Amino acid sequence: MNKTALITGASSGLGKDFANLYAEKGYNLVLTARREDNLKLIAADLIEKHKVDILIISADLGKQDAPSKIFSFCNENNVKIDILINNAGYGLVGEFDKLSWEKHNAFINVLSTSAIALTRLLLPSMLAEKYGRIINISSVAAFAPYTNSGGMYIATKLMILKFSEMIHNEYKSRNIYSCAVCPGFTHTEFHKDMGEFKSSIPSFMWMDSRKVVEQSYAASMSGKDIIINGWFYKVLVFFMKITPKWLVKLGSN
């Protein structure tokens, strides 16, 4: 029987490309995001092209109860999840004290709590089946040597990186692999409202979303605990790790 992948944030960008790749490879899918219309179009296209089974569920992962709703939806439809791709995310702009707690809470839920909750809910059946592949989308931002603006994004990405590593180390001997994916700038809808900022980033720093997804798939299947996408970012992360905080502080003043 075909295995099934649950993909969060499947309505655009990396999530949509994950849906494309896994459908091409014959996996059945459960796709979730808030934009139901996008999910419907993506599912219809992939069902026609690849003859796989696809269910969609619209959910706002900013809400605490969303992971249990998605879990119940899978159970009600007798779908067992073999592959979990925790991908949903967005950027949060503004000073910490200027943003309401509600905004922070929703952000933390989408980028980290929901991923941890879905993993906790789905892990028992993966353990029972002796098979599970989990991909957690972190970011090269998780390696930032010094944090000020954008700090909540960095904090959640570091959380998911460490969480992913913990799951991998705890369960890899039982054939559950968890891979933290750390892309740099990637062409998706992520920067759609950041026109000027986007054009200020040199083109060699941008990666193709499909390429990131292909690398992530290969890393996950071969049991890698972490992947930094692309040679440029591998080198950058190396320097981020060895650069002392005082030097970065100096540069940011």
Ligand X SMILES: NC(=O)c1ccc[n+]([C@@H]2O[C@H](COP(=O)([O-])OP(=O)(O)OC[C@H]3O[C@@H](n4cnc5c(N)ncnc54)[C@H](OP(=O)(O)O)[C@@H]3O)[C@@H](O)[C@H]2O)c1
Query: Of 146-165, which residues contact ligand X (CB under 6 A)?
Result: none
Q: Is 132 among the residues that bind ligand X (CB under 6 A)?
A: no
> At its nearest, how many Å lie between ligand X and the CB of residue 212?
8
C-beta of 123 vs 140, nearer to ligand X: 140
Burial category of 23 from C-beta neighbours within 10 Å (exposed 0-12, middle 13-18, buried 19 and up): buried
Q: Applying CB under 6 A, which part among 18-26, 34-42, 124-132, 231-239 lies near ligand X?
A: 34-42
Q: Binding to ligand X by residue 143, rule CB under 6 A?
A: no
> How far, in Å, CA of 28 to CA of 159, rounded?
29
- Per CB under 6 A, does 33 bind ligand X? yes
Q: Which is nearer to ligand X, 173 or 200 (CB)?
A: 200
Q: Which residues within the stretch 180-219 sit at the binding site for ligand X (CB under 6 A)?
A: 183, 185-186, 188-190
Residue 39: both structure tokens together: 């999910």
Return the beta strands (E) in the chain as ranges.
4-8, 28-33, 54-58, 83-86, 132-137, 176-182, 226-228
* Rg over CA atoms, the chain: 18
CB of 50 to ligand X, least distance (A): 20
Sequence-separated (6 or more) residues with CB below 8 Å from residue 13:
186, 188, 189, 190, 209
Q: How many residues bind ligand X (CB under 6 A)?
A: 27
Minimum separation from the CB atom of position 131 to ligand X (A): 25
Residue choice 24, 35, 100, 149 for contact with ligand X (CB under 6 A): 35
3-state secondary structure at position 86: strand
- Residue in 253, 181, 174, 172 with CA at minimum distance from that of residue 215: 181
Site residues, ligand X (CB under 6 A)? 9-15, 33-35, 38, 60-62, 87-90, 110, 137, 139, 183, 185-186, 188-190
